[in-house]
Chains A and B, each alone.
Chain A
């Protein structure tokens, strides 16, 4: 693939980035957050952004049982995401 497919995973790995963002899969059902970074290859990034996941977008997790795919609401639509895909989407929790 080409130069754009470089991955920039957070070095701090799974739990949280220094800027306080967490993977979408870490949110509980009903929790809302703001998309901080989309950390995936170019192809998946295209699909994520066209479905509404761009930095600054508000996301609400509708269903998340801690395993299997989860459901999120973004820009008025419900989107099902595999756990792996949701793990590449970093969000900032909103102050309650």
Chain B
């Protein structure tokens, strides 16, 4: 674009009180267009992740400076359109209408230009200057497409910046375009899509009737269009704003044009069609090459599952072979050394304080620290799978299985994250659109055996069962997955009857992973875990420690032991004595506490190892029942906190009660079955 150097004109930002306020830029785009890559390139680590007020939708904000000015960049949720059908879409459009960003960057995928321009068609109807980032130019070229950005810009009446964000191409130009738009440089007026010809008159009729009655800051023509689309939120807004007889008139018109949604969306695609015909000089030649070939296997009903099993197996293998030695190293040389140092240093002052710091504080914090290697590796592998585009295929092949639980494929990703840690699994349920499916997935996520639970199994199974340990470990995993499936079917049928979620999901083109995007994803998930876990695990760890030494100072005579003995009649149903019950209770802080607690209450370390003591103390039936109950028991406190945040108090308590009863029932069943076969 050849424009003259612009006069220093006061941009919208300068009109705001204070003048020096940073320029507000919103980043919009459909899912899978490389939005997070662009966001990360622009802001680096200078970003803040939180939630949109009152919503469980992630809000990312960052800042960058250019030519001495500060730009505040807000990442809008990735959405295909701006209807009111999901909280993400409402957030995106409300932000643009209410916060009035100085510039809205609309990122589109050049390789799927037709579909990804749809969001632009919605954005140009809103009152904000739009700059189009035409991303994935390299992929489009590989697909044999030729696009002329200048012609597209002229046709759209918007500035268009060709980019390949994964290779950092075009980012500088995008920033310059943002700066120009923020300065209020005369942007060519955008051409707006029009409603399909057969509905133009109706639109005018509605506009006439609502004229003057639309509350600020909503644009009148936009409201008219959304009314015709049948938008629930805007319909409610106008019903409240219009006098009754006026609303009745509007309502009458709308009732006669219930099919208008199709006319509006068709109008947008007609508009897109004109842009495409102008700017795309050569359409995609032939079928999608690489993606087609990979998907031939990856989405096959049988081979797709085989590939998925392989991918999952490899993920676990990598996580545990690399992560477990690191975990042990950190535990032995980091946490234990630190705890002993603290104990030795503080014991002369006060044995109480020494215990509090060494067992309560360092013990709790140590859990977080030692699990980091495993979580980082797991998150990294997951990040690669997500970024490459494979997770959508995994969701696709798992759709049939998820249907058994009344869910669909999309719930698979958060559940899979649960194998690493249940906390991100519960938080990850946000990707699911329907509230029912989101809630059900969050309730099921804690039934996925996480790394911490598996660590307990991996330690105890060889101690109890020697050679049969691998078999027992796999058995526990399979059993807990079977319980998960059964619980899903049960809860889904009993509590959410009649509501069925629709499965419709884009399968993005495969592309090479971007290390920066994955790195930041791992960083965000890990820090989120540390923040969540840290704030709840520490206090609960201290409380459990206090219960285990009060009032006498030894575990045997503690409140915790008394509690365990009190529950022993119940425990006997599962073959558990008070010590195993106490171990279960302590696992509420952090799952692998069960091992440490058993070590304490069994008085291991004098002559014989914990493994030997365990094997000689408990019958195989009890041991098996303990492993099963442990894997299915109520989740750790960090997961419970995440559940409360995502689902609310009521469902959190439901989840606790449900898992408590299920774990005890299944444990009892396993115990008596094992007894019956003579174990």
**A and B: interacting chains:** yes
- CB within 8 Å of B: which residues of A? 2-4, 6, 38, 42-52, 54-57, 62-63, 65, 67-69, 71, 73-82, 84-85
Among the listed A4, A44, A63, A77, which residue makes an inter-chain contact with B258, where contact means beta carbons less than 8 Å apart?
A4
Cross-chain pairs A/B with CB under 8 angstroms, 10 sampled: A50-B265, A52-B118, A54-B265, A56-B269, A62-B295, A76-B112, A76-B284, A77-B112, A78-B291, A84-B503
Question: In whole Å, how far is A7's beta carbon from the nearest beta carbon of chain B?
Answer: 11
Asked if B507 and A84 sit within 8 Å, CB to CB, the answer is no
A-B CB proximity, top 6 nearest: A82-B503, A50-B81, A49-B265, A50-B80, A78-B507, A75-B114
Asked if A69 and B409 sit within 8 Å, CB to CB, the answer is yes
What are the residues of chain A within 8 A of B85 when measuring CB–CB?
43, 46-47
Is B9 an interface residue, CB under 8 A from the partner? no
Question: In whole Å, how far is B86's beta carbon from the nearest beta carbon of chain A?
Answer: 8
Name which residue of chain A comes closest to B284, CB basis: A76
Question: In whole Å, how far is B651's beta carbon from the nearest beta carbon of chain A?
Answer: 23
Asked if B504 and A80 sit within 8 Å, CB to CB, the answer is yes
Among the listed B261, B291, B500, which residue makes an inter-chain contact with A46, where contact means beta carbons less than 8 Å apart?
B261
Asked if B113 and A50 sit within 8 Å, CB to CB, the answer is no
Among the listed A3, A79, A82, which residue makes an inter-chain contact with B507, where contact means beta carbons less than 8 Å apart?
A79
Question: In whole Å, how far is A23's beta carbon from the nearest beta carbon of chain B?
Answer: 15
Which of B392-400, B448-456, B532-540 has 4 or more CB atoms under 8 Å from chain A? B392-400
CB within 8 Å for A63 and B299 given contacts A76-B115, A82-B502: yes
Asked if B262 and A54 sit within 8 Å, CB to CB, the answer is yes
What are the residues of chain B within 8 A of A57 when measuring CB–CB?
269
Name which residue of chain B comes closest to A1, CB basis: B232
CA gap between A49 and B229 in the complex, in Å: 11
CB within 8 Å for A85 and B506 given contacts A46-B81, A54-B265, A65-B301: no
Q: How many A-B residue pairs have CB under 8 A?
A: 124
Is B505 an interface residue, CB under 8 A from the partner? yes
What are the residues of chain B within 8 A of A4 when measuring CB–CB?
230, 258
Asked if A82 and B408 sit within 8 Å, CB to CB, the answer is yes
Asked if A69 and B80 sit within 8 Å, CB to CB, the answer is no
Q: How many residues of B contact A (CB 8 A)?
A: 46
What are the residues of chain B within 8 A of A71 when measuring CB–CB?
295, 299, 396, 507
Apart from the given pairs A63-B295, A80-B506, A82-B504, 12 other A-B contacts in the complex at a CB distance below 8 Å: A42-B261, A50-B118, A51-B80, A51-B504, A54-B262, A55-B266, A67-B301, A69-B409, A73-B288, A75-B269, A76-B111, A79-B505
Residues of B contacting A: mostly: helix
Asked if B112 and A85 sit within 8 Å, CB to CB, the answer is no
CB within 8 Å for A51 and B506 given contacts A4-B230, A63-B295, A76-B113: yes
Question: In whole Å, how far is A24's beta carbon from the nearest beta carbon of chain B?
Answer: 11
Residues of A contacting B: mostly: mixed
Among the listed B80, B266, B301, B392, which residue makes an inter-chain contact with A47, where contact means beta carbons less than 8 Å apart?
B80
- CB within 8 Å of A: which residues of B? 80-81, 83, 85, 111-116, 118, 229-230, 232, 235, 255, 258, 261-262, 265-266, 269, 284, 288, 291-292, 295, 299, 301, 392, 395-396, 399-400, 408-409, 433, 500, 502-509
What are the residues of chain B within 8 A of A50 when measuring CB–CB?
80-81, 83, 118, 265
What are the residues of chain A within 8 A of B258 when measuring CB–CB?
3-4, 6
Name which residue of chain B comes closest to A74, CB basis: B115
CB within 8 Å for A79 and B504 given contacts A46-B261, A52-B115, A56-B266: yes
What are the residues of chain B within 8 A of A6 when measuring CB–CB?
258
What are the residues of chain A within 8 A of B83 when measuring CB–CB?
46, 50
CA gap between A73 and B462 in the complex, in Å: 51
Asked if B503 and A80 sit within 8 Å, CB to CB, the answer is yes
Asked if B230 and A80 sit within 8 Å, CB to CB, the answer is no
Among the listed A43, A75, A81, which residue makes an inter-chain contact with B503, where contact means beta carbons less than 8 Å apart?
A81
Question: In whole Å, how far is A95's beta carbon from the nearest beta carbon of chain B?
Answer: 21
Name which residue of chain A comes closest to B145, CB basis: A76
CA gap between A3 and B111 in the complex, in Å: 38
Asked if B262 and A55 sit within 8 Å, CB to CB, the answer is yes
Asked if B504 and A54 sit within 8 Å, CB to CB, the answer is no
CA gap between A77 and B265 in the complex, in Å: 17
Interface centre among A38, A52, A80, A85 (most CB of B within 10 A): A80
Interface centre among A52, A55, A73, A85 (most CB of B within 10 A): A52
What are the residues of chain A within 8 A of B112 when measuring CB–CB?
75-77
What are the residues of chain B within 8 A of A80 when measuring CB–CB?
299, 392, 395-396, 399, 409, 503-507
What are the residues of chain B within 8 A of A63 when measuring CB–CB?
295, 299
Asked if A44 and B502 sit within 8 Å, CB to CB, the answer is yes
Name which residue of chain B comes closest to A37, CB basis: B262
Asked if A47 and B502 sit within 8 Å, CB to CB, the answer is yes
CA gap between A62 and B266 in the complex, in Å: 24
Asked if B506 and A79 sit within 8 Å, CB to CB, the answer is yes
Asked if B266 and A68 sit within 8 Å, CB to CB, the answer is no
Question: In whole Å, how far is A14's beta carbon from the nearest beta carbon of chain B?
Answer: 19
CA gap between A54 and B259 in the complex, in Å: 12
